[in-house]
């Protein structure tokens, strides 16, 4: 094993394999979970990991390549001979590493993500890299703690305990020896050891327990399950805890309350479409009495005032510096940023989202915002995104 050194973030790269020929779930890597494609979710996770310098998607599919670029990844053209059902993941990773290094980039550590694990976060990736460094290991992987009684078959076809002795008095589950199973989400390696062995487990292995939902998408049923999980705060356990701290819900208008389209007549008068379902959710939220609500918009338009008045929600319009405006409003309400949920959809929301205790965006937000948001709502703006947010908040107090 190569000797570990202090890692340099600029030499840590992420590779995501995403071929186009999935059999179990056709078009799998472009299928949506919580409004985002599987490949977009993986790219987004990697881009939010501070230690990852660049994200590369290796694919043989033009549509996947376009989606990867849309979310900020570099694309590696994957040869046909490495894209079939029998090609190993290692062969694809080694090819991608070669292509990256041909660009003159130094690679000391590699992170491999699987699109089939849609709930990976940047924090999970950071934890996996950290445990590899702490242990001085050649590689690390994400695992799920398993407290099951495991069995195998003996030569005669009878059951035999693998982590317990079935001939002895039954142990309590918590007394079983620690056991872990691969989550299938994250594999980290030191590039030199990976090249030397050609294997992902290229020396001493560090384990990184993660607590995201342990689902890998191999069948349509798996996909349906993940879609249901995503409806509940994106499948991230930490989002639920952060929702409990929310006391202020602040929303952009265009692209959040609306579908970001505007109808302009020949007099210049504008009209927009909003969702009655979103309106009902916000009414229930307001009447519950646990949250202060506010619309914060860069534009000044009578339609915003009319909608806010109908919803009985305070509105600030024509705001160029949203951070300063919201800072003042929070102070006046006796609240702080940590208690704030901000919902935005475009690049002018990025600064305020970075300050908020919890940030969210509709499923059709700008790619830069999709990459930054803590919580991607499962529906588009103006078509159910706010209702999903309201339902999640109300569920925490019901």
Nearest to 311 by CA among 332, 293, 288: 293
Same domain for 339 and 372? yes
Alpha-carbon torsion angle 172, 178, 182, 187, nearest 10: 160
- 1 in a structural domain: no
Percent above pLDDT 70 for the chain: 96
Q: What separation in angstroms does the CA of 155 have from each of 95, 161, 372? A: 41, 13, 54
Q: What is the pLDDT of residue 335?
A: 96
CATH number at residue 218: 3.90.550.10
Q: What is the mean pLDDT of the chain?
A: 91
- 159 in a structural domain: no
Confidence bin at 239 (pLDDT 50/70/90):
confident
- 56 in a structural domain: yes
Same domain for 377 and 271? yes
Q: What is the pTM of this model?
A: 0.79
CATH number at residue 359: 3.40.50.1000
- 164 in a structural domain: no
Confidence bin at 378 (pLDDT 50/70/90):
confident
The region that residue 318 occupies, defined by phi over 0 for left and psi between -120 and 50 for alpha, beta otherwise, is left
Residues contacting residue 130 through CB under 8 Å, at least 6 positions apart: none
Which tens digits make up the pLDDT trace of 305-360? 999 999 999 999 888 899 999 999 999 999 999 999 999 999 999 999 999 999 99
Tell me how many domains the chain contains: 2
Confidence bin at 227 (pLDDT 50/70/90):
confident
Same domain for 331 and 199? no
Residue 251 structure tokens: 């929303």
Same domain for 140 and 257? no
Q: Furthest-apart CA pair in the chain: how many Å?
A: 86
Same domain for 139 and 251? no
Same domain for 310 and 384? yes
Distance from C-alpha of 168 to C-alpha of 56, rounded to nearest angstrom: 51
Higher pLDDT pick, 266 / 29: 29
Nearest to 381 by CA among 275, 256, 265, 290: 256
Same domain for 195 and 332? no
- 152 in a structural domain: no
Domain span at 368:
237-397
- 4 in a structural domain: no
Q: What is the pLDDT of residue 9?
A: 64
Same domain for 270 and 393? yes
Q: What distance, in Å, lies between the first and last C-alpha atoms of the chain?
A: 54
Same domain for 303 and 225? no
Distance from C-alpha of 135 to C-alpha of 204, rounded to nearest angstrom: 9
Distance from C-alpha of 124 to C-alpha of 310, rounded to nearest angstrom: 42
Q: Which of 231, 246, 262 is the last residue of a domain?
A: 231
Which tens digits make up the pLDDT trace of 265-311? 888 888 899 999 999 999 999 999 999 999 999 888 889 999 999 99
- 213 in a structural domain: yes
Same domain for 255 and 227? no
- 99 in a structural domain: yes
Same domain for 264 and 303? yes
Q: Which of 216, 231, 246 is the last residue of a domain?
A: 231
Same domain for 205 and 286? no
Which stretch, 86-95, 225-234, 237-246, has highest mean pLDDT?
86-95
């Amino acid at each position: 094993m190569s000797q570990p050194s202090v890692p340099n973030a600029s030499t840590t790269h992420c590779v995501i394999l995403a071929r186009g020929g999935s059999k179990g779930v056709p078009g799998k890597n472009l299928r949506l979970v919580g409004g985002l494609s599987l490949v977009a979710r993986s790219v987004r996770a990697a881009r939010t990991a501070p230690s990852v310098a660049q994200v590369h998607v290796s694919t043989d599919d033009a549509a996947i390549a376009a989606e990867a670029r849309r979310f900020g990844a570099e694309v590696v053209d994957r040869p046909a001979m490495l894209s079939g059902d029998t090609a190993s993941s290692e062969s694809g990773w080694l090819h991608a590493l070669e292509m990256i290094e041909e660009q003159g980039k130094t690679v000391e550590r590699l992170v491999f993500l699987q699109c089939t694990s849609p709930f990976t976060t940047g924090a999970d990736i950071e934890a996996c890299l950290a445990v590899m460094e702490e242990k001085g290991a050649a590689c690390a992987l994400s695992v799920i703690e398993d407290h099951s009684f495991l069995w195998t078959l003996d030569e005669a076809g009878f059951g035999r305990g693998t982590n317990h002795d079935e001939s002895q008095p039954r142990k309590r589950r918590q007394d079983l020896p620690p056991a872990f199973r691969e989550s299938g989400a994250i594999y980290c390696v030191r590039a030199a050891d990976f090249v030397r062995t050609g294997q992902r487990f290229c020396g001493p292995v560090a384990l990184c327990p993660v607590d995201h939902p342990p689902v890998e998408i191999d069948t349509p049923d798996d996909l349906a399950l993940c879609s249901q999980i995503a409806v509940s705060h994106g499948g991230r356990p930490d989002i639920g805890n952060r929702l409990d701290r929310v006391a202020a819900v602040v929303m952009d208008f265009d692209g959040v309350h609306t579908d970001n389209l505007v109808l302009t007549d020949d007099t210049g008068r504008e009209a927009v479409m909003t969702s009655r379902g979103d309106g009902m959710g916000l009414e229930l939220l307001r009447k519950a009495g646990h949250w202060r609500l506010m619309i914060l918009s860069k534009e000044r338009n009578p339609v915003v005032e009319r909608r806010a008045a109908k919803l009985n929600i305070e509105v600030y319009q024509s705001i160029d510096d949203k951070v300063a405006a919201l800072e003042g409003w929070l102070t006046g309400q006796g609240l702080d940023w940590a208690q704030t949920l901000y919902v935005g959809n475009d690049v002018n929301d990025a600064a305020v989202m970075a300050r908020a205790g919890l940030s969210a965006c509709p499923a059709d937000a700008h790619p830069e915002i999709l990459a930054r948001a803590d919580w991607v709502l499962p529906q588009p703006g103006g078509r159910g995104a706010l209702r999903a947010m309201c339902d999640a908040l109300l569920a925490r107090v019901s």
